[in-house]
Amino acid sequence: MGHAIVLKAITSLFGTTDKGQLQLMENEYLRSGRIAPQVPAPVVANTENMVLVPRGEAIIGLDGTDNPFAYSGIDGFFPRRIVTVDDFFMDRYPVTNAQYDEFVRAIEANDHRHCHPDEPESKDHRRNTWLDPRFGAQHPVTGIDWYDAWAYARWSGKDLPTAEQWEKAARGTDGRLYPWGDEFDASALTWIGTVFDQPQLDSVPVWREILTQINDTVPSRTTVRVGINAKNVSPYGIHDMAGNCWEYTKTNYFSHKDMTLHFKNLDPVAFMQDHDAFPIIKGGSWTSISPLTSAPFTGKDLLTDRHNEIGFRCVYNPPRFAN
């Protein structure tokens, strides 16, 4: 009875029954002594341009004794395991610059009701690529941080994928290395060999040297329009899961659990060594060499960094009902 009374009081006080949002708002209250603004009514997700990934087993990670990328010496491959993933819907394409800019206009007009309680005060959600003509309207959004991606997902009634959801969507049930199969195909995606016209690029030292040449004008092309690579389609019909842009997940790189945030108004230097500050990113980008664009590869980045290589797509998790 006591639990029921307390729960009713808390949900009334914070204005939501969503467990995740309640935890975020409670954390903010304990940290600052202030009650965050009540959340708006839930947004109904539009699944028209999403793909259903049915419940079932998924192969995650890579067998260390048979790693085809061992030659590279690149870390980021976790041990192979089999997990069961509940059904979910995933965006067919990454979120585009045009879609993201619409979100920015909406929250500027209607305050930050959908934003993460831990994000900095008066955060500017505009992408830092919006003046760069290389990043077109129908290209995947980049130049944003993890808070930006989280806010967009909540604004659209969706969520960021877990790393396991993302990897299952890319690899299907057979655990393939790339959305199209087990062999790297330089023509199937946008990667560093594409943008620097080196389709045979396979040397890690050469790749790293090329990365030092990148600036505001070099290369002349970066990301490309979503859906343009016809081969880059997963077994579920989800496009662009290799290359073009990295994609944020809501999974922490070190704990492999959902992100736990406690960084509000702190300078990034103050928490850049904190393991809680690093979400997993997946898929590789236009700056990546082939091993990084494989589905098992697991990257990470500081959640406040805004690179022109990292974007995202959303998932919708249908409500679960007890039997």
Residue partners of 11: CB distance under 8 A and separation at least 6: 17, 22
**Distance in angstroms (rounded) separating the CA atoms of residues 267 and 287:** 27
What confidence score (pLDDT) does residue 180 get? 98
Gap between the terminal Cα atoms of the chain: 24
Per-residue model confidence (pLDDT) at position 44? 79
Q: Which tens digits make up the pLDDT trace of 16-41?
A: 555 556 656 665 565 555 555 544 55
Residue range 160-176: average pLDDT?
97
Q: Are 122 and 78 in contact (CB under 8 A)?
A: no
Nearest Cα to Cα of residue 72 among 236, 241, 292 = 292
| pLDDT for residue 7 | 58
Mean pLDDT of 215-226: 96
User: Looking at the predicted structure, is the pLDDT value of residue 323 above 50?
Assistant: no
pTM: 0.87
Confidence bin at 121 (pLDDT 50/70/90) = confident
319: confidence class by pLDDT, cuts 50, 70, 90: confident
For residues 20 and 9, which has the higher predicted lDDT (pLDDT)? 9
Is the model's pLDDT at 264 over the cut of 50? yes
Superfamily of domain 49-316: paralog of FGE (formylglycine-generating enzyme) (3.90.1580.10)
pLDDT higher than threshold 60 for residue 15: no
Domain ranges of the chain: 1-39, 49-316
- As a whole number, mean pLDDT of residues 53-58 equals 97
pLDDT greater than 90 at residue 3: no
Three-state DSSP string of the chain: CHHHHHHHHHHHHHCCCCHHHHHHHHHHHHHHCCCCCCCCCCCCCCCCCEEEECCEEEEECECHHHCCCHHHCCCCCCECEEEEECCEEEECCCCEHHHHHHHHHHHHHCCCCCCCCCCCCCCCCCCCCCCCCCCCCCCECCCECHHHHHHHHHHCCCECCCHHHHHHHHHCCCCCCECCECCCCCCCCCCHHHHCCCCCCCCHHHHHHHHCCCCCCCCCCCCCCCCCCCCCECCCCCECCCCCCEEEEEEECCCCCECCCCCCCCCHHHHCCCHHHCEEEECCCCCCCHHHHCCCCCEECCCCCCECCEECCCEECCCCCCC
Q: How confident is the model at residue 109 (pLDDT cuts 50, 70, 90)?
A: confident
Provide the mean pLDDT of the chain: 89
